Amino acid sequence: MADKRVMRSPRNPFAIAQRQFDEAAAILGLDEATREILRWPMREFHFLIPVRMDDGSVRVFKGFRVQYNDARGPAKGGIRFHPEETIDTVRALAAWMTWKTAVMDLPLGGGKGGVVCNPKELSPTELERLSRGYIRQVARFIGANIDVPAPDVYTTPQIMAWMMDEYDIIKGHWEPGVITGKPVELGGSRGRIDATARGGIYTVREAAKVLEIDLRGQPAAIQGYGNAGSFAHKLAVEILGMKVVAVSDSRGGIYDPDGLDYYQLIEHKRRTGSVAGFPDTTPISNEDLLELPVTVLFPAALENIITEENAPRIKARIIAELANGPTTPDADVILHQRGVFVIPDFLCNAGGVTVSYFEQVQDAMNYYWKEEEVHQRLDEKMTKAFHDVYQMSQEARVHNRLAAYLVAVSRVVQAMKLRGWV
């Protein structure tokens, strides 16, 4: 049973997720029972994971798994290893995953998991024991047709391999489709590593078409230079012909109006651990990067970084949300009034879950596609989803995030009605 106590801070991610849903529910005229089902997780699990450390001591880690809604299919969502993980963050991300799979029209529901830990402080063997311990706690509640975890913050294909192996040991048979984001050698999909960024780039391309913007040579800025942000740099140049003039990570940011070379920068970050200090660039703060006069801004790191305080100073024509929840509801209204075209997170960053779904399909067939086929199928799904949302925004005269909610929520509600739940 879901614990319905939730912090009411305006920046609490689950409070934001509920507020966003409530706005869509009001427009759709949903009845009280339907709203109640969709405002809360259908089920969630809290558990403790004892782990034998390398020094012989035992540490106990707190873990979560939330299955938000499975009316359209098995729950789907990543597992996060983070020292500041909270149940409300996991709930919010599970809700957004429900809307994400629905807006992409995938036959899946939404879920999410997390462990309160700092993986940077764990040795490889301790990390493996923690990963296997997580699966021992949730093995009864997951499966290829029940709930399919994937990598997320500070989890990797190697961690997914350990988790899949532990599940196989417990169940006594090979079931690769229980986990996605695995190494290709263990049933992973080609094209998964850059899928989140690639899907976002496809939506930016489509946004530029409807806005009649020629992106070639136009400046872009990327806040957050992890997997999604760094690949967004590479693909914005290769696919869109843009120049990336500023990037940042947790240790600092850099700016060069002439554009940053992806390959040189990624090598610099590999050597130093940060983009900061890249030669012949000007240091820039994360806050100032968000307000640069660029054509496309990619928030690719944290929640709640575009707020009612800085939204009036945003100069980007397009905001492509590769991060989850980077824009607060009040900022959404301001940006819409100012004519900033926001591609909302659960559309823009849906490339990852879409290729994860492709991985499930390939695992079920025991037949695997070439990378070019994955890219083509992803392009088709992202393009259709973008235009579904854009058409809804025009018909309902609402901003894009609310339009995405209207598309997604209506699809989940239809599945619930057909099942006889409401």
Which residues are catalytically annotated?
112
Q: Say how far apart CA 62 and CA 86 lie, in whole Å.
A: 10
**Adjacency order of strands within the sheet including 219-223:** 282-284, 252-255, 243-249, 219-223, 296-299, 318-320, 341-343
* DSSP label at residue 415: H
- Residue 361 burial (10 A CB sphere; 0-12, 13-18, 19+): middle
Q: Say how far apart CA 377 and CA 75 lie, in whole Å.
A: 22
Name the strand (E) or helix (H) holding 229: helix 227-238
DSSP per-residue codes, 97-146: HHHHHHHTT-S--EEEEEEE--GGGS-HHHHHHHHHHHHHHHGGG-BTTT
Beta-bridge partners for 65: 45, 113
- Report residue 401 CA to chain centroid gap: 15
Name residue 361's amino acid. Answer: V
SS3 51: strand
SS3 351: helix
Q: Say how far apart CA 163 and CA 127 lie, in whole Å.
A: 11
